[in-house]
Structures are given as C-alpha cells and as structure tokens.
Structure 1
Amino acid sequence: MTPAERLGALAELVANDGLPASRRSDVAGRVLDLLGNCLAALSERPAEAVAATVEEWGGSPQATAIGSATRLPAPSAALLNGVLAHSLDFDDTHLPSVLHPSAAVVPAALAVAEQTDASGPAFSDAVAVGVEVTCRLGMAGYDEQNANSVFFDRGQHATAICGTVGAAVAAGMLRGLSAARLTSAIGIACSMGSGIIEANRTGGTVKRIHCGWAAHAGVVAAALAGNGITGPPTVLEGRFGLLRAFCGDRFDLEAVTRDLGERWESDRIFVKPYPCNHFTHAGVEAALRIRRRDVDPAIITELTLGVPEPVLRTIAEPIEDKRRPLSGYHGAFSGPYTVAAALLGGGGLGLSHADFTDTAVADPARLALAARVTPVADPECTRIFPHQFPAVLTVRLADGTVLEERVRHNLGGPENPLSAADLTAKFRMNARRAVDDAVAAELAALVTGLASDTRPAAITCLLRSAT
C-alpha cells in the first residue's frame, strides 16, 4: 500500500473499531481548549471579515458558526470556526514541526459531526486521526539535521498544507467513507492545501485565515470523495506529489507511516498556557518561579534571559522596541516585556489577554523592569530547540544576590502538562470574553462528555443560543 492508502486504512479501522477511552479524553481536552480560543476571538477583525464573507455566500443551514445564531453550509462553518481558532495564536502546537493541528482539524470535524449528527465517540476518533495525520505530514517535512521545517524554510505554512489533509480525513471518517474513498479524500486535499507566510515578515492578517481555509478545504475534499471524485494514491510520495512539490528532495517519507497506529505523533502536542508567542513561554514560566520566591521586583537590578539562538530574532530584535512594545499585540512577541509582566503579576495562568492590551504594555512599572532584561543565546537552550522552547532567567538583586531559574520543558507539553484544572481555567478565561460563567461551565461539562455520551450537536446548539 502507498502511504496515503495506509492512512486511509487506519482511518477506516479506527472509525469501525474506535479508540481507547484515554485517547478520546485527550481529544476532549483539545476541543475544550480550542472552543475557548474561538470564543475569545469573536471580536477580532479577521473573524468579523470572514463572517461577513460566508454570510454573503449563503447556502444550506448545516452547521454552526460560533458567535452566530445562523447556521451555515458545513464548509463555511468550518472556515469561520477555523479562523476563530487561530486568530489569537493561542491554539495548540506540535513540536518540533511547529504545526497547529487542532485549529485545522477540529473545526472541520465539528461542522461535519453536526451535519451528520455524529456521536461523541465518533467525533473524538475522527479528530484524533485527523490530528495524527496532520502531525505526521508535518514531521515528513521536518529537517532533523538543520532543526527546522522545510515547509517554513521555503516560505510555506505547514499547518495550512498538512492541516487540510488531516481535516479531510476527519471529515471523511464522519461521513462514513471507506478506506478507498478516504485515500481519495487525501489525494484531493493535497491539491487544496496552501499557505504562504510572507505576512509573518512584512505584515498582513491573512495568516489568521490559514487554519480556517484548511478546515474548509478538508470538508470539501471529503464531500467530493464521498460523491465520487478520486485522488491519486501516490499523492504523498509521487514525482508530482505533495512532499516533493512542497519540500523538494528534503523530506522523510517514513515519518508518515512509521509505527502507524502504535505510536502517536500527536502525543507531542503542546497546549499554550499564556496568550503570547510560544517562544516567550519558558521565560514567562521562569519569571513566575522567581516571583514565587517572593522576590521584590524593585530590588532587581539586572535580568538575563537565555533562549535558543534562533528565537532571538523573534522575541529580542530590535531590542529597543522589544523593551518598549509598540502595541499590545507587539508585546506578545517581546521577551523583555513578557518577563516583566510575569514578575509583576499577570492574570490567568500567569499572563492573560488583559496583559496584552495597548494600555498594559505602556505601564511604567512594566517598562522599567523590561528595560533591565537582556536576551542572549544560551547554548543548552539552543541544543534542545525546537523539541522544546526552553529558557533560563538569571536575576541579579541590589545586594549582589544572583538567582537562576532554568525551564527545559515548556508548561503545557507532554513532559510538563497542564492539569485538568489549568485547562478548565484557561477555557473559562477565554470563554468569559463572550459568554457568562454558567454557559462556560455547561460547555465544559458537555465537552468532557464527548468521550461517552455527548453529541457534538449539543455543543454547537449551546454555542448558537448563547453567543
């Protein structure tokens, strides 16, 4: 069998036989996290623009668009919900591929599950396999020697490309497609995935729609396969297949199927505890540890933030701007500001959305402390990167005392996971921006029941009536 056929066979097997309860429960945590991110992003301009666009399209009322009482065609709902999921860059991340798998796969699965009135376990299984396919394709394009993604190195957004295929698999499972038609859905989706990351370099909001478009395209690919359109079984490895087209000769085909069904690449997914660039998180955690030692920020004279060398260009350059962020959004990409905010005390699990407003980043106390932070390349952190995004924070006090906190494993990752209480706290922090606490609690209870008796349609019904 070709790699695409092996993925299609796994998807059919799981759809028929189901997954263990533990893996379904893991999916429920990801869904809860994603729905919170969606609710928190409802007022973001990209989401508003996409909502206006899909409303212009119209069509059959099949699935819920979060934040609206109006139901849309399943591809349109997947598009809008995927945009919401990724708009705040608060969605989960697979390392070392640096993919955001849930934001592409869950919106597609949620739309088709509502359309087909699927059960909670069927939905959970589809999400699990779709996310796994996404992560494995991302790893096929990961260059171990150079420790980077070939997709990104060539200017492509791996999430938008690989996530389209994962979304198609999840949607196809929920439509009851056979292994052969699931393979065709993969073949079709490989012609639809796309995403250019020039906006990361020079600006633009288009990146925020990439996960939504992946979800949309995945739903369409599965529908086309279900209605008889076929895709090439060699679509991944062929002379003109996805991996050679996007990665040239720099891909690892075995990563797609190695230990398939036995080892889950998706176990390497990290949930973000703080609403800021992931490269800043270990520095934030180190600062929070210093704060727990009852250190008075007023007597801190100097701080050195050691990070992986490749991270410096994102969170430390130019240093003058990073010490005085130009906006709340800019502050989320600043090592000095995030360390200062954590030391002085932020919201949520350590930092919250309120810490990244234009007003918050102009706070004189935070700016004064950020001015004392010097980011540097740390050899051990560079060695670990990008399997983790580590940091070491060294703090010098007025009396000459030197304190150090080294964070090798990011909070929210498999070696240092968020507790169930932390996941719920993050969800409620996000959901509070759109719904009251009673609705948030009811949503959380429904999502927890996905592994057993909750139907996804019950969740979308509540979202539709409450927002």
Structure 2
Amino acid sequence: MSEQTVAQLLAEVASQVADTGLDRGLREDVARRVLDVLGNSLAAADQPAARAVTAVASAWGGSGHATAIAAGIRLPAPAAALVNGTLAHSLDFDDTHLPSVLHPSSSVVPASLAVAEAHGASGLALLDAAGMGIEVTVRLGMGGYDRDLGNSVFFERGLHATSICGAIGSAVSAAMLMGLDAKGITDAIGIAASMGAGLLEANRTGGTVKRMHCGWAAHSGVVAAELARAGLTGPPTVIEGRFGFLQAYCGERADVDAVTEGLGERWELPNIFFKPYPCNHFTHAGIDAALQLRAAGVRPEEIVEIELGAPSPVLRTIAEPPEAKARPESGYHAAFSGPFTVAAALVGGGGLGVGHEDFTDEAARDEERLALASKVRCVPDARCDEIFPNQFPAVLRVALRDGTRREVRVDVNRGGPGNPLSADELAAKFRTNAERSLDDDAAGRVAAAAYALPDGGSVGDLMSLVG
C-alpha cells in the first residue's frame, strides 16, 4: 500500500503527539475539559442510570486499577471507563463540538483517565492522549457532516455520533497511553470501529439508555486498545473503505477529507463549546433568549403565548412529539424539551441561569413551569436554518397581556468561542456540579489538581480526590 490510509494517518499523528506533546495552550484546554468532565460526573453520581451501570460493572470483578468516580471502588480500566463515561453524559452537561454535533470529552476523557491511572501515566501524557482522542472524535464527526444537507448525516439517520465516533477517539487515546506505536494505534482504530453504537430514539420517546452511550464508547475504546496491544488487528482502510466506517454510517454523503485536512496543524479542540446549562444543547439559545426577556422585566404571568423559532433539524429533538415536550415525563426528558427549558428560564432557574434544580422529576411536575410550557409553540426559522449547525440559534417571540410583543434572537451560543464562559463561570459550573458529592474544600482540591496537570500534576492524585 503506497499511500497512507486515513487510520494510518490518524495513528501517525497520534504517535507524534505522544512523542513530542501538545503545546501549552492545548494542554491547558484539555485540563479544563478534564475538570468539566469530573464536575459533570460528580453531579450525576446519584442518577439511576449511573447506579445501574456501576452495579453491573462492579459485578464483573477483576483487578481494580482505576477509580470509579464517587463510588468508593476501583475497577479494571474498561469497567471504570464505562462507569465514568456514563456519569459524564448522564446530565447532558457535556461539551459540544459544532458542526459535528458531538460531545467528545464525555467518552475520551473517562477512557483516558482510566488507562492513565491503570498504567501510571503522567499528567502530561494524559492531556496529550485525551487531546488527540478528542480531535479524532470530532474529525470523524465532521466526516459525517453534509454541508448541502446542513446537518450531520449520523443525526439524520438517528445515529448517536457521539458514541460511535467516541469509541474510536477513546481507542486512540487509550492506545497512546499504553505506549502502542503507530501500527498498534492503527489496529486499535480498526478494532474500535466495529464497536461503536448508539441510537437517538430515547431523545424522542424515553428510556435512560442514552446516558450510558459515552460510557460504552469509553469502554469500547479501552478494550480495543487492549486487544490491539495483545495482537488483534484491524483493517487499515477501516475509515474510508468500501465497507468501512464512513461508508457504513454515512454512505455517499461522507466527507473523507474533513477527517484529515490540516490534521496535526489545525486543531478543532479549542473550538469545542462548554455548556452553561445542564440540558440538550439545542435548547440553549432559547434559554438565553428567555433569560434576556426575564432580565428586561418580562414576567411569566404577563405572557399570553410564546413562539420558539429554531433550526428545522433540531425540532425533532426539542419539539416532537409536542404533547410530550409540553409535559415531560421526567426531569431528564425535560432537559430535551424546548417548551420546558424556555419556561424554566422565564420562571427563574439556578446555576448560570438554568441549573440542575430545573431538571428534577419534581421540577418536571411543577404546574407553573408546565402552564408556561403549554403556551410555547415551536416553529422552524429560516435564519436559524442558515446558521445551523455552526451554532444552535433560536428566536423567541412573546405576546403579552397588554397587547405588546417582544422578540429576542440569539445567533451565537453562550459557552463557545464567540461567547465564551469566563474562568469564573467555568469555576462556578464546576462548584455547582461538585457540591452534589463533595464539600467546598474537597472541590477546591479537585480543581487545583486538574489545573496542575499541564505543570506535571499527578493523575493518581487527581483521581484519589474524586473516588
């Protein structure tokens, strides 16, 4: 084979990163994502899905070399990755890359932490491997983005690209931390491509399975790297081949060049959005608009009707079926409801505007929120369609009892490069998350240990604080 395949090129760059390291700015970016994942995971420790996955993973047994977050136990690295990836994604508070529409850190960071801890890797090696794994994940997602369609082909087909691409990104990071060479990383990619899975139907009609998608991706990636280390091999053309990853999932709409263009020179990593609100990212611009109206003095009791305009593709997630979105069956389902999230922001949320307390089962039964949600009509908006999915925009129009109408349009999401969260806001998000499992002093030690990673901080010391 005279030319490198896509998997071989990804592996070559990964091997170079393992040897030379990321630059300081990228390492600091990854450290922030590690802290964000840990905070999201600590906040989710009492979720039923997390408890279920932890119980199953614990029953598997095996030598415990990696920490299961907030569980007080150590597990084999694949099992710890499963548990921690499930925690990381359980509250839908994880970072998002656009326009691939992926949550890359929630699979790659748990896989990287588990393997780094099990193999005694340094904090710098962790950051380098996690950064490369995240980059691979989002680039594979970009390979499934169709500009003519204006959306992810994965999403159009009901596939959860976060978990499907995340399995491969996790395998790359795990293989790097295990010390595999470029050939071994290529094999890990080829093996992991047969393991990724995830369907989005739970977003529409219920079930808690989606919460463990990132855990399964992290688990798959670690297992794939372990199998490659043991001698199992994968097809070198697994990404672009006739029966390979992109063809199987995206068909003729796949963009192979998007995966490799500028690889190792132009990084997508710093462009990944941090979430300010613990709910589906498609709802965030509507929340921002509602918060602006609230700040301008609009009160819920004055509102007669509300129109939420959004990109056409996202309405399947946040607006359908209309009856279910107006009255979500649980707090988790409320986090995927355009009407409910707008109502929560107008009534008065916590956190950075809307917080965890807005997505409890009790909050989902709150009659004030539900009465307001029932007034929300979700519609496609042409300007939003033009912008999506480079942003997840929205426009909110309200009619008031005095006959006046108000409109707020949000084109740029809070938390991304165009409207970033400040260091204080990121710290506030972490504290709000961590306080569900740790006291203030312990949370401060976790933050300090995570931010020390670019200066040679210890992975073991960090994980000992969150077990």
Smaller-chain TM-score range? over 0.9
The aligned counterpart of 2:151 is 148
- Aligned mate of 2:225, from 215, 222, 226: 222
Q: Tell me, yes or no, if structure 1 residue 272 matches structure 2 residue 275.
A: yes
- Aligned mate of 1:363, from 338, 360, 366: 366
Give structure 2 stretches of 5+ with no counterpart: none
Shift of 1:253: 0.9
Q: What SS does structure 1 have at the residue aligned with 2:466?
A: helix
Percent sequence identity over matched residues?
62
The aligned counterpart of 1:292 is 295
**Residues 315/83 of structure 1: CA separation in 2 closer, same or farther (3 Å cut):** same
- Aligned mate of 2:180, from 174, 177, 181: 177
Q: Tell me, yes or no, if structure 1 residue 259 matches structure 2 residue 262.
A: yes
Structure 2 distance, partners of 1:374, 1:206, is 28
Structure 2 distance, partners of 1:346, 1:238, is 48
Residue deviations 1:180-212 (CA, integer Å, cap 9, x gap): 211121122122222233444443322222211
RMSD: 1.8
Counterparts of residues 16-35 of structure 1 (less than 5 Å): 16-35=19-38
Contact 2:204 2:317 in 1 (8 A): no
Structure 2 distance, partners of 1:448, 1:381, is 37
The one-letter amino acid paired with 1:304 is: E
Q: Tell me, yes or no, if structure 1 residue 235 matches structure 2 residue 238.
A: yes
Q: What SS does structure 1 have at the residue aligned with 2:465?
A: helix
The aligned counterpart of 1:41 is 44
Structure 1 distance, partners of 2:272, 2:203, is 22
Contact 2:105 2:134 in 1 (8 A): yes
Contact 1:117 1:455 in 2 (8 A): no
The one-letter amino acid paired with 1:288 is: L
The one-letter amino acid paired with 1:207 is: K
The aligned counterpart of 1:189 is 192
Shift of 1:77: 0.6
Give structure 1 stretches of 5+ with no counterpart: none
Counterparts of residues 433-448 of structure 1 (less than 5 Å): 433-448=436-451
The aligned counterpart of 1:134 is 137
Q: Tell me, yes or no, if structure 1 residue 387 matches structure 2 residue 386.
A: no
Q: What SS does structure 2 have at the residue aligned with 1:303?
A: strand
**Residues 235/315 of structure 1: CA separation in 2 closer, same or farther (3 Å cut):** closer
**Residues 159/320 of structure 1: CA separation in 2 closer, same or farther (3 Å cut):** closer
- Aligned mate of 1:403, from 406, 409, 413: 406
More deviation in 417-426 or 218-227?
Answer: 218-227
More deviation in 442-451 or 321-330?
Answer: 321-330
More deviation in 367-376 or 411-420?
Answer: 367-376
Shift of 1:307: 1.3
TM-score normalised by L of structure 1: 0.94
Q: Tell me, yes or no, if structure 1 residue 329 matches structure 2 residue 314.
A: no
Counterparts of residues 41-190 of structure 1 (less than 5 Å): 41-190=44-193
Contact 2:91 2:332 in 1 (8 A): no
More deviation in 370-379 or 316-325?
Answer: 316-325
Structure 1 distance, partners of 2:39, 2:190, is 32
**Residues 338/196 of structure 1: CA separation in 2 closer, same or farther (3 Å cut):** closer
Residue deviations 1:256-276 (CA, integer Å, cap 9, x gap): 110111111233322221112
**Residues 296/130 of structure 1: CA separation in 2 closer, same or farther (3 Å cut):** same
More deviation in 81-90 or 332-341?
Answer: 332-341
Contact 2:294 2:346 in 1 (8 A): yes
More deviation in 3-12 or 368-377?
Answer: 368-377
Q: What SS does structure 2 have at the residue aligned with 1:395?
A: strand
Shift of 1:297: 3.5
- Aligned mate of 1:459, from 449, 459, 462: 462
Residue deviations 1:387-406 (CA, integer Å, cap 9, x gap): 21111122333444433221
The aligned counterpart of 2:416 is 413
